[in-house]
Amino acid sequence: MKYGLIFDLDGTLVDSLLGIAASLNRALALSGLPTHPPERVRGFIGNGAQVLVERATPVGSDETVLTIVGQAFKADYDLTWPQGTFPYDGVVELLESLQAQGYPLTVLSNKPHPFTEAIVEKVFPAIHFSVVLGQRTGIPHKPDPTGALEISSRIHRGPGNCIIIGDSTMDLETAHNAGMSAIAVTWGYQDRERLVAAGAQLIANDPAGLEMLLLTPTKYAI
């Protein structure tokens, strides 16, 4: 039985930093708030749109400000994300290879669900993902295991037969909480040192290296 593969989206499959930073800064500017260079926005990404806005706004911003900026960000991003969202080099070829070998491919993201679906469909039109889940109202997001376990059930793989692949310590924590294996990738938004410090045991430095890890007979560490 092929392992079920659960990919993170931002920082793992796609480089969306410039698109997120541009929309976020336009939303902040509309409210007269300070903007941030993309490298700083890089550290805001990973916990969903609400936390992104909370991290980007001045400390102590009230709920009204957070709501206004959040709504402006989502409206802007809905129109402009294709201009700043690209697959990482080698990712399309990796997915095509894994698909041809019969691996169930899925996506689990903390990005709002409509954006997650739209990006996957636009950026990877030739790839069949069995399940694509973003952040949904009323459903706890990563590192809560709910989404990962839903995917496990929908692809008919037990948690022990699923691997979460992501660029953040949150993905590692999600895998641990779900009783799944994990592979960390270093080309995304968190440094290798943070991944190692968080307990990453399997680490890929590029998509070719990730495929080698997946195809090498080994016991995946949970």
3-state helix, strand, coil in the chain (%, to 5): 50, 15, 35
Range of the domain at 71: 17-84
Q: Does 160 reside within a domain?
A: yes
Which DSSP helix (H) or strand (E) runs through 163? Answer: strand 162-166
Q: Is residue 113 part of a domain?
A: yes
Mean pLDDT of 103-131: 96
Q: Are residues 98 and 179 in the same domain?
A: yes
Domain boundary among 26, 51, 84: 84
Same structural domain, 96 and 43: no
What is the total count of domains within the chain? 2
94 and 142 share one domain = yes
pLDDT score recorded for residue 219 = 56
- Is residue 9 located within the same domain as residue 33? no
Is residue 80 assigned to a domain? Answer: yes
* Average confidence (pLDDT) over 143-162: 97
Contacts of 221 (CB under 8 A, 6+ apart): 181, 182, 201, 202
Q: Is the model's pTM score more than 0.85? A: yes
Q: Catalytic residue numbers?
A: 8
For residues 195-216, give the mean pLDDT. Answer: 94
Q: What are the distances in angstroms from CA 177 to CA 3, 45, 125, 143, 181? A: 18, 21, 31, 7, 10
Residues 148 and 185 in one domain: yes
As a whole number of angstroms, the distance between CA 130 and CA 145 comes to 18
User: Are both 196 and 157 inside the same structural domain?
Assistant: yes
> Domain for residue 221, yes or no?
no
In terms of domains, do 10 and 27 share one? Answer: no
- Residue 221 scores a pLDDT above 50: no
In a domain, 222, yes or no: no
Return the pLDDT at 56: 97
For position 29, which CATH number holds? 1.10.150.240
For residues 213, 211, 170, 50, the Cα torsion angle rounded to the nearest 10 degrees is 180
Quote the crossing angle between the two packed helices 17-30 and 49-56, to the nearest 10°: 60
Residue where a domain terminates, one of 84, 105, 137 = 84
Based on the fold, state whether residues 63 and 166 are members of the same structural domain: no
72 is a domain residue: yes
**43 lies in the same domain as 133:** no
pLDDT in tens, 35-73: 999 999 998 987 888 999 999 999 999 999 999 999 999
Domain match, 48 and 109 both? no
The verdict on 139 and 36 lying in the same domain is no
Average pLDDT, the chain: 94
Residues 58 and 98 in one domain: no
On whether the CB atoms of residues 40 and 56 are closer than 8 A, the answer is no
Position 220 in a domain: no
Question: Does residue 190 sit within a domain?
Answer: yes
Measure CA of the first residue to CA of the last residue in the chain; give whole Å.
Answer: 18
Alpha-carbon span 153 to 148, nearest angstrom: 9
- Residues 13, 15, 17, 23, CA torsion sign: negative
Q: For residues 81-93, give the mean pLDDT.
A: 96
